[in-house]
Structure 1
Amino acid sequence: MGIRVGTRDDAEAIAEVHIASWRVGYAHVLPESVLYADDFEPRRRAIWSEWRFAPTQRVAVSVDDTDRVVGFAAYGPERERARGTTGRGELYAFYFHPDVWGNGAAAGLIDHVGERLRAEGFDEAVLWVLDDNPRARAFYERHGWHPTGIAADFDVHCELSVPEVEYHSPLTVEGRP
Structure 2
Amino acid sequence: MEHCVIRRAAPGDEKALAYIHTQSWSWALGKMVPQEVLEAQTDEAQAERLYAMILERGLAQVTLALVHGQPQCMAAWRERQDAPEGTAELVCIHSLKDRVGRGYGSKVLLEVMEEMKKAEYHKVVLWVFEDNVRARGFYEKHGFAPTGECREIFGDRELEYEKVL
**What's the CA shift for 1:11?**
0.5
**What's the CA shift for 1:30?**
1.8
Match of 2:17 among 14, 18, 22: 14
Amino acid at match of 1:117: M
Structure 1 stretches of 4+ moved >4 Å: none
Distance 1:139 1:39, change over 3 A: closer
Q: Structure 2: how far apart are the matches of 1:14 and 1:96?
A: 10
Task: Name the structure 2 match of 1:35.
Answer: 38
The superposition leaves residues 93-140 of structure 1 with CA deviations (integer Å, 9 ceiling, x where unpaired) of 111011111111111111111110000001111011111100000000
Q: Structure 2: how far apart are the matches of 1:39 and 1:149?
A: 30
Give the gaps of 5 or more residues in structure 1: 172-177
Please tell me the root mean square deviation across aligned C-alpha atoms, in Å. Answer: 1.9
Q: Structure 1: how far apart are the matches of 2:137 and 2:26?
A: 19
Please give the secondary structure, in 1, of the residue aligned with 2:7. Answer: strand
- How many equivalent pairs are there? 162
The percentage of aligned residue pairs carrying the same residue is 28
Please give the secondary structure, in 1, of the residue aligned with 2:58. Answer: coil
Task: Name the structure 2 match of 1:163.
Answer: 157
The answer as to 2:71 corresponding to 1:69 is yes
Please give the secondary structure, in 2, of the residue aligned with 1:113. Answer: helix
**What's the CA shift for 1:79?**
3.3
Task: Name the structure 2 match of 1:174.
Answer: none
Task: Name the structure 1 match of 2:29.
Answer: 26
Q: Structure 2: how far apart are the matches of 1:85 and 1:152?
A: 19
**What's the CA shift for 1:56?**
5.0
Amino acid at match of 1:167: Y
TM-score by length of 1: 0.83
The superposition leaves residues 25-79 of structure 1 with CA deviations (integer Å, 9 ceiling, x where unpaired) of 01221234442469833322221121355335211111111x2211101112113
Amino acid at match of 1:169: K
Task: Say whether the 8 Å CA contact 1:71–1:97 is kept in structure 2.
Answer: yes
Aligned ranges 1:28-177 → 2 under 5 Å: 28-36=31-39, 40-55=43-58, 57-65=60-68, 67-80=69-82, 84-154=83-153, 156=154, 161-171=155-165
